[in-house]
Amino acid sequence: MKLLRHGETGHEKPGILASDGTIRDLSGKVPDIAGATLAPEGLRAIAAIDLMSLPIVPATTRLGAPVSGMTNFVCIGLNYADHAAETGADVPKEPIVFLKSLGALAGPNDDILIPRGSVKTDWECELAIVIGTTARRVSQQDALDHVAGFTLCNDVSEREWQAERGGSWDKGKGFDTFGPLGPWLVTRDEIADPQNLAMFTDVDGERMQDGSTSTMIFGVAELVSYVSQCITLHPGDVIATGTPPGVGLGKKPTPIFLRAGQVVRLGIEGLGEQTHKMADA
């Protein structure tokens, strides 16, 4: 299933993409794409609904982040060997874990706001894991049992605040609109192998990232298990799993960063696409 949330910011309703390509409103069936709805029983209940009997949502309706009720927006740094190489960093021996502010959440086609004074705002196309049931110190063998599905994330990054202002990476990752998710939460049964998905990013129509989740250093199951050892993961929590090479910071001989008016388009096989216009905050 492809679950989603539609409507104006702060007033989104649950929805689902039907087989005929229309968006159907689920608000009469579930309170939101959150909490118990993401557990196996909740997903089975949605799968049993006759989608063609549900109201159609106009195609022009805004889509929000496809999951709500998030407690933790976890990100993994330098999780692609080829991305680590382009930034000049060593391949990490353990996952690099940081948190993105929940205030960074945005929809898959919302404008991305460049912070005031920023000259180093960058893109990062990422596979994101959506947790379905509470995961606390779970084994790698059992980790996928706690996953509801996957979505697309743009881990937008302000590189000066991330790396040149001291302290942790979180400062460069948590600006408003720096965490677009969606368009859909694709349930785990529809993704045969999350470690073999093509992914891309275009800026103004020019291909910048052209990678695959196959080059991840730490895979989905390992990441869920690892993070759950130090952070209890709750239904609706997200783990963004890192990005392949091709970010602006890594461009040679001169890094490339985003400017107001540019359009960023990114996608992952089976998870849909995002399109964002860059705007000044």
Q: In terms of domains, do 95 and 173 share one?
A: yes
C-alpha–C-alpha distance, residues 207 and 87, integer Å: 19
Q: Is the pLDDT of residue 196 over 90?
A: yes
Residues 104 and 25 in one domain: no
Predicted local confidence at residue 242, as pLDDT? 97
Confidence tier at 87 by pLDDT (50, 70, 90):
confident
Q: Where are the alpha helices (DSSP H) in the chain?
A: 40-47, 81-87, 159-163, 170-173, 220-230
What is residue 227's predicted lDDT score, i.e. its pLDDT? 98
125 and 183 together in one domain: yes
Any domain includes 157: yes
Q: Is 221 domain-assigned? A: yes
Return mean pLDDT, the chain.
96
Look-up: residue for tokens 């049931």?
A: 133
Residues 32 and 148 in one domain: no
Q: How many domains are contained in the chain?
A: 2
User: For residue 65, is it within any domain?
Assistant: no
Structural domain boundaries, residue 77: 73-280
What is the percent of the chain where pLDDT is above 90?
93
Residue found under tokens 């007033």: 11
Residue 118, pLDDT above cutoff 90: yes
Q: What are the Cα distances from residue 251, in Å, to 42, 188, 205, 255, 256?
A: 44, 34, 16, 5, 6
Same domain, 28 and 104: no
Give me the pLDDT at residue 125, please.
Answer: 98
Q: What is the pLDDT of residues 7-42, one digit of tens each?
A: 999 999 999 999 999 999 999 999 999 999 999 999
User: Are 141 and 273 found together in one domain?
Assistant: yes
Q: Does 9 share its domain with 108?
A: no
Residues 32 and 138 both lie in one domain: no
164 and 86 co-located in one domain? yes
82, pLDDT greater than 80: no
The answer to whether residues 50 and 168 belong to one domain is no
Shared-domain flag, residues 196 and 274: yes
